[in-house]
Each structure stands twice: as structure tokens, then as C-alpha cells.
Structure 1
Amino acid sequence: MKYPLIAFLLSLAGLSSSTVGAAAPNTLYLIANNQATLESETTAKPKIYLISSSSQYDENTIGEIKAVFQQQGYSVDSRYLDQQPTPLGYVNTDEVRAETLINALTDENVKYLWFVRGGSGALNLYPYLYRNRDKIAAASPKILIGFSDVTALHHFINNVIKWPSIHGILASFNSEMYEVDKTEQISMYSGIQQVFRTITNGMTYTGIEPLNVSARAGGQGTLNGGNLTLVQSLFSTRYEKNYADKVMLMEDTGVTYKQLDRTLHQLEYKKNFHPKAVIFGQFYSINANKIEKDLYRYVLQEFANRVDYPVYYYPEFGHGKTNQPFILGQQMQILCNEHYRYCSLTQPPVKR
């Protein structure tokens, strides 16, 4: 045969030798080109650096996390996991956790820093982060990914360092990890690839419910926020930032509807809280019934009726089974139509 190598490649592709002839060089080109494309897709996937700056995590999950990411085609580096639990259950002392995080944020090899879990303790790192803010800002931008207690770190990265970040699934809680261990339902319907699609392509979410009249006009602003407890913990501190140009995401877990009502009254009474808009996520428990869901929605609706800025409801992010990713520190737009009950929210890709 004139093209023995081609025949071999064709046999691998499931084609017969009768298809070889004048078209064989073109066929060979297509096979080689497709192979190159596959190799390019594989090599193009970035390395994920794991980190945990809050509550201690289960050491046994790290191997599972690595396997899950590797199955998706990503390499994983765990050099920034440094766990020596403290009496309060943090992964390490404040000083060590801060040093580890600062080292990761200034490492020129790191592009994606994915948090293993949230919990509590990240707020304690602020004095260390502020002392090193110039050093961090001089480094190449990193994309932090996580939610819950990671909100405190998003706030610093978005508002002080001016990098965008992703409010989304943790490395230990996502659809891929749920397939490994069916016991943890948090983010069970939200996966790794969705995060990267959002980073690369941006996103549009429909089903954004306007809760007051001003919300029907839509709007735009820079997305900030995350977990309401962490947002609240910054009130009246030297680390709190201006809200005037912000659209604030807010979700929480483990708060009763009465506790939420009290917190939202504090928000209403707060002198300097005048954001472009507020978008509420999930507050009810992960397996809540309709009565519980309606009570939380009632509290949010009452808050929306009392304030003059747009308030929206989108319980598809937070500590629930679905945790849609958002790009914090970046512009977003909400569009509404008088003929439809719900609005849409759009964000462009992460600016690189």
C-alpha cells in the first residue's frame, strides 16, 4: 500500500483501507489535526492550587479532591495546604494561615487558587493581608474560587487588590465530589466545568425575581458580597468599603428566619449602606419544606418593601444543592421586561 502509516492510523480510527487514495493525505491531516486539538485541550487546562484558610478539613478528602480534578483533566498542587488544627478548629494559627495565603497570592506560578472548605477564621487574617497588600498587588492576578467564609477573602481581593474572583463551589463540595461520597449535598448540582465556563465565557442567569418596584427597572454595578454573616462582620470596621457602586450578593446558612429578620433590619438602619442593588440567595436549610422556604422569602420580601434600592431573589446560590458561580469584583447587568415576572443577570468573562 502506498500509505502504510495512513492505513494504520485509519485502522485505529475504524476506517477501511478502501477509503485511502488521493484523499489519504487529507485524511491523515485531519487525524493529526484532531489529535493535536485533543492534546491542546488537555495541555491548556490550568493547574489548580488547593488552599484552606478557615476551618480544618478532613484530610481523607484531599486525595479524593485530587482524583476528581485529575479526572476532569486538571493537575492539582497541594503545597499550600498546611494543617495543624488549633483549639478553635482552624487549620492553623492566624499567623501561619496568613503567611501561607500570602505566599500563594504572590506565587507567580499560581493562577487558580481553589479553597477546600469555608467555616470560620478568614476574617482574622485581615491585619496580615493589609500589611502585605502592596506585595500582593504587585504579583500576577490570581483567581480565588470558593464561598462561605471565603467571602472575607473575596472582599479583600476585590476591593483592595482589585482582582476579580469566583463566588462558587468549594473543592470539597461540588457535583463531582458528590458522586464520590453521596452524604454531602451542598453544591451537589454544581460542577467544576461550570466554574471554568463562567470564567472563560461569562454567564447569563434567568429566574432573577424582582422583590420591589425599583428592581423592575434593572440595573448594573460591580458585584460584591457573598455570605451575609461575613459581610455583616465588616460593618463599622476599618476594613469596610463603600457600597455606592456595588451590587451585593447575600446568602447564609444556619440562621433562623427571625435572626435573618433582625440582621436585615440592621442593614436597613445602617447609615452608609446604599448599594446599587441587593441579590439574595438561599437562606433556608438544604432540605427545607415549602413552609420554611416561604417564611424566609417573606422576611426578604418585607425587607425589600422597606428599602428604596432594587432587591432581587435568586435562591440558586449559597449553601444549597445548587450553587451557581458569580464573578465578584466585576461588572454585572440585570435586565427586566414588563411582560415577564423574572429578570436576567449577565456577566462578561473574567478580564485577563
Structure 2
Amino acid sequence: MKYPFIALWLIIIGVSLSAAAPAATGIFHPFAHDCATTDNVPAGKPAVYLISSSSQYDESIIDEIETVFSRQGYAVDSRYLDQHPTPLGYVNTDDIRAATLIKALTDDNVKYLWFVRGGSGALNLYPYLYRSRNKIAASSPKVLIGFSDVTVLHHFINNVIKWPSVHGILASYNREMYDVRKEEQVSMYSSISQIFRTVANGMTYTGIEPLNLPAFAGGQGIVNGGNLTLMQSLFSTRYEKSYADKVLLMEDTGVTYKQLDRTLHQLEYMKTFRPKAVIFGQFYPIVADKKERDLYRYVLQDFARRVDFPVYYYPEFGHGKTNQPFILGQRMTIQCNKHYRYCSLTQPPINAASSA
């Protein structure tokens, strides 16, 4: 080498810069370790509060959930996770689960309340919540996020407290968690970031299939619903609400097509069931072949032929690999065109003036 001293000097300077760069603000270093922690959460982003009010969950996943959310720029607060499983497999007794949920719902520091999992048992909490409705309503609005057994909690929040909420992925089942664990396929194609985009910007979905003639007219209504089994559990109870102005989402899992057919006949026979529209999501098992999927679609199509309100099919939400978010308690507009096979639906952001 012609200039050995200069080369040695450059090597020394390069090593010094390499060692300093990761700690220096604004200096790019390609080999610095990108470690996601709550320390680097951008200012202005509210924390995500985890909660679980139904079946017991695997406690080992909480650290992974915190890591996944921190990579999205959100701190995670787990103070409302209180698990001492009961003989029925709920996270805790009814009164303790209710007290924990009410405490979270009345905490003015909470903006996002994200459920770790569903399962069963949330219906038991409704009387406790209803007795505390005035206290909850006086608190700052929260965005509840989840689906499945969370449906009854959405129902309370949307129809009694009048807050919008998000029917969407659970904190433990989503694309980011699947990338980490490679286990549960539910919601494996649906991302945490999509929830925040939906809250901030609203959403538009295409590919909504009209199943009967009234559906081609489109329409508007306030979105409610979720898991059909949980919706059915509120029928003819003192907590059931009017369906007159509602666009109802319906999905389910673990229900055979014959059981689904029976439930839909029950809906047809109900005197009070007159919604603005029904949008069916996924009912078939996640591993179903085409023949099985077609059987479920046949049941839905047959129901649509028998009723005179709009019925649509959009198997992109529910217990499948894709679980598109919807804003419950928020207005939806459905638009169709006679020249096209499919319709579209739109919802404004969660803080828009049109929310219920």
C-alpha cells in the first residue's frame, strides 16, 4: 500500500464512529441493533391497555404482545390483566372480571382497551356493567378492540354507553403475533397497524356480495353485531336493543351449517328483527374445503331469499385467516351499482361527527 499511515488512521476513525453511531442522535449506522422498547415510543401516541374478560389465556404470550406493539410505536400497559382461572376456565370470577373491566372503562388515562383473547364468559358481566353504566358513561371515551366473545361487551359499549368500538383482531391473534409464534392461524393476515389506520381514517371495502334483490339498493345504518352466538344470547333479554337502524355484522365459529340454518330460521321468525341490513362474515372452519364453504354459503343464500331486507356476504371478517376491522356504533354506507356484481361499504373515522 502506498500510504500505510493514512490507511491505518482511516481504520481507527472508522471504528470510533462505528462504536459511537448507535448512541448518537441522527447518525445512521447500518449495523446498529434495532431494539424495540417502550423507551422509544413516539410522544403523542397513547398506550395500549391490555385486558381479558373471558377465557383464560397463555400468560407466556404477554411479553411477546408487548414487543409486537412496541415495534408499532405503542407502549403496552398490562395493569388490567388479572388472571386466576376458575373451574369453568374463565380468567377470574364474574365479580372480579367485572370489577376489573369497570375500573379500566372508568380510567381516564385509557384510550385503547385491547382484548387479549375471547372464548366465553363475557355475557355474565353484562348486569355488572349495566349497573355501572352512569359511572362508565361519565368517563372519557375508550376504543375497545376485539371480537368473538367480546361481542357482548361491544353491544354494551355501543348501545348503552354510546361509544364506538372496533370489531377486529385480538392482541394475541394477528399477523404480527403469527410471525412470532407460527401457531394460531386466526387473523394471521390482519395487522395491528390496520386497526390504527381504521380508527384514524375510516375504511372502504369492496367485494361485498349482495345475496338478494333488496341488497342491490345499498343503504345506510349504524353498525352493530359480531359473533352470532353471542348476539343470539341477548335475544328476548332485558338487554336486547332495537335493530331498526342497524347494519348487523354476523360471523361465527364451531357452528355446523345445519346449526346455522336453524339459527337463521329463528332470526327470520323473530317479530322484532327488522335491521337495515345484514352482512355475513366467515362461518366455515378455517380448514374448510370448497365443498364445505359452498354449503355454508348455500345456507346464507337461502336465508337471504326468504327475507325482504338487504343481505350481503363478505367472508373477510370473523374467525378466519383474514379479519377485517369494522367500526361498531358508527355509521356505514353501502353502495351498489347494477352494472357490477359486488358492492362497496364505507365508514368514517372513529372521531367523526357521524359516530353514534
Alignment TM-score, normalising by the size of structure 2: 0.88
1:42 alignment partner, SS class = coil
Distance 1:243 1:11, change over 3 A: closer
Distance 1:307 1:84, change over 3 A: same
For residues 48-86 of structure 1, the C-alpha deviation after alignment (integer angstroms, 9 at most, x for no partner) is 000000000001111111111111111000000000000
Q: In 2, Cα distance between the equivalents of 1:10 and 1:96? A: 46
Q: In 2, Cα distance between the equivalents of 1:347 and 1:71? A: 27
Match of 2:79 in 1: 79
Match of 1:345 in 2: 345
Match of 1:99 in 2: 99
Structure 1 residue 45 displacement after superposition: 2.3
Match of 1:174 in 2: 174
Structure 1 residue 119 displacement after superposition: 0.3
1:243 alignment partner, SS class = coil
Match of 2:329 in 1: 329
| AA partner of residue 184 (structure 2) | E
| AA partner of residue 243 (structure 1) | Y
Q: In 2, Cα distance between the equivalents of 1:12 and 1:217? A: 57
Structure 1 residue 254 displacement after superposition: 0.2
Match of 2:245 in 1: 245
Higher mean displacement: 194-203 or 66-75: 66-75
Structure 1 residue 287 displacement after superposition: 1.4
Structure 1 residue 42 displacement after superposition: 2.1
Match of 1:67 in 2: 67
For residues 232-257 of structure 1, the C-alpha deviation after alignment (integer angstroms, 9 at most, x for no partner) is 00000000000000000000000000
| AA partner of residue 264 (structure 1) | L
Unmatched segments (≥5 aa) in structure 2: 1-20, 30-38
Match of 1:112 in 2: 112
| AA partner of residue 202 (structure 1) | G
| AA partner of residue 105 (structure 1) | L
Identity of aligned residues (%): 78
Counterpart contact for 2:41–2:70, Cα < 8 Å: no
Structure 1 residue 13 displacement after superposition: 6.5
Tell me how many residue pairs correspond in the alignment: 321
Q: In 1, Cα distance between the equivalents of 2:286 and 2:269? A: 30
Match of 1:225 in 2: 225
| AA partner of residue 166 (structure 1) | V
For the aligned residue pairs, the C-alpha RMSD in angstroms reads 1.8
Q: In 2, Cα distance between the equivalents of 1:11 and 1:346? A: 40
Match of 1:216 in 2: 216
Unmatched segments (≥5 aa) in structure 1: 1-7, 15-38
1:124 alignment partner, SS class = helix
Structure 1 residue 43 displacement after superposition: 1.8
Higher mean displacement: 98-107 or 57-66: 57-66
Structure 1 residue 12 displacement after superposition: 4.0
Distance 1:262 1:11, change over 3 A: closer
| AA partner of residue 194 (structure 1) | Q
Q: In 1, Cα distance between the equivalents of 2:334 and 2:65? A: 35
1:253-292 matches, cutoff 5 A:
253-292=253-292
